[in-house]
């Protein structure tokens, strides 16, 4: 059995490819070549299918979904769904395959065709709320995957761990009153989108860990252990979904945390240990933010290196 499946499609390069914007094609343009250069032993690279609309409806308001898809341009213009969320003609296929990657990964992890999966997708998803797109995000890829796991496979104890530097307000919004999903987020605060305070608790299923600008590796890892890992041990989840943003890196231009590639190594190792202990190693990781290209590429490779390493003795 393959340890890690990597989901990627060339359509992700076509999402607003002509726009000079932080969430741009360069973020994923070279990643498959970089992965191949590493000569990883325990991965396979897979092209995702387009998501069936019914799965998007499970996480989002149907009218919002239909109206949004109708707004995608069919010519060379750029349409802004909100002030930070542009779409182009190439975005239609990319959006459907970004969500589809999470569905395909869910099926293959559940059916033991792989142990875990990393979906290197554009557009990202964690700011997309139940009934609106925002913050570079059209639909919420991790929420669609979690809803699918609940409705298709009957899971009732999912953990979503979001280590993007920005709070995943959309994921929190969708699951705020759903006890089948626990949402954990470390994020710089205050920062866009302005949510993520500790008093936002849902039905006891929301854990926000706001961090001050300038938080360094040691401070971050201490907070992650105390506020995330300990609570995951309490939850004992049956599946982990990661909102894998790498914009907490010290080089990222959109935020001011001071993490390094090694921090993403440690985060991945710690979460793999949780998955090993409680949920048969089942993890889906989905790319969110990360806007310094070199830092993002290095961090993704670090993340993949840990995911595909099946030697439990090193964790």
Residues tagged active-site? 127
Paired sense of beta strands 85-87 and 79-82, if any: antiparallel
Residue 61, φ and ψ in degrees, nearest 5: -60, 130
Determine the Cα–Cα distance for residues 204 and 295; give it in Å rounded to an integer: 35
In eight-state DSSP terms, residue 48 is P
Q: Who's near 211: CB < 8 A, 6+ residues apart?
A: 186, 187, 188, 189, 219, 220, 223, 257
DSSP 278-290: HSTT-EEEEE---
Determine the Cα–Cα distance for residues 300 and 306; give it in Å rounded to an integer: 10
60-67 LR contacts (CB < 8 Å, sep 24+):
60/128, 60/130, 60/131, 60/139, 60/140, 60/143, 60/144, 60/174, 61/130, 61/131, 63/131, 64/130, 64/131, 64/132, 65/139
| Count of alpha carbons within 13 angstroms of residue 7, beta-carbon side | 29
Query: How distant is the alpha carbon of residue 281 from its chain centre?
Result: 17
For 305, the token pair is 């290196």
Place of tokens 């933010």: 289
Determine the Cα–Cα distance for residues 165 and 249; give it in Å rounded to an integer: 8
């Amino acid at each position: 059995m393959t340890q890690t499946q990597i989901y990627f499609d060339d359509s992700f390069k076509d999402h607003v490819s002509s726009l000079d914007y932080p969430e741009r094609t360069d973020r994923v343009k070279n990643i498959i070549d970089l992965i191949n250069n590493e000569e990883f032993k325990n991965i396979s690279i897979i092209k995702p299918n387009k998501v069936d609309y019914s799965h998007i409806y499970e996480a989002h308001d149907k009218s919002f979904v239909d109206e949004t898809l109708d707004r995608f341009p069919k010519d060379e213009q750029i349409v802004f769904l909100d002030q930070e969320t542009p779409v182009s003609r190439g975005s239609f296929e990319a959006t459907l395959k970004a969500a589809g990657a999470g569905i395909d990964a869910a099926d293959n992890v559940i059916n033991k065709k792989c142990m875990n999966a990393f979906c290197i997708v554009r557009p990202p998803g964690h700011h997309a709320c139940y009934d609106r797109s925002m913050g570079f995000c059209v639909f919420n890829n991790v929420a669609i995957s979690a809803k699918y796991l609940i409705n298709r496979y009957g899971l009732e104890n999912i953990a979503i761990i979001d280590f993007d530097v920005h709070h995943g307000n959309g994921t929190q919004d969708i699951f705020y009153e759903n006890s089948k999903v626990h949402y954990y987020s470390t994020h710089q605060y205050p920062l866009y989108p302005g949510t993520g305070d500790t008093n936002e608790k849902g039905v006891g299923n929301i854990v926000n860990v706001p961090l001050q600008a300038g938080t360094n590796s040691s401070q971050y890892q201490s907070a992650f252990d105390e506020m995330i890992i300990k609570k995951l041990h309490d939850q004992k989840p049956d599946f982990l979904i990661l909102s894998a943003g790498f914009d907490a890196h010290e080089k990222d231009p959109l935020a001011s945390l001071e993490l390094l590639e090694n921090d993403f190594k440690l985060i991945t190792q710690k979460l793999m240990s949780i998955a090993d202990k409680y949920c048969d190693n089942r993890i889906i990781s989905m790319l969110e933010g990360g806007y310094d290209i070199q830092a993002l590429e290095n961090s993704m490779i670090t993340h993949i290196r840990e995911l595909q390493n099946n030697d439990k003795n090193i964790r």
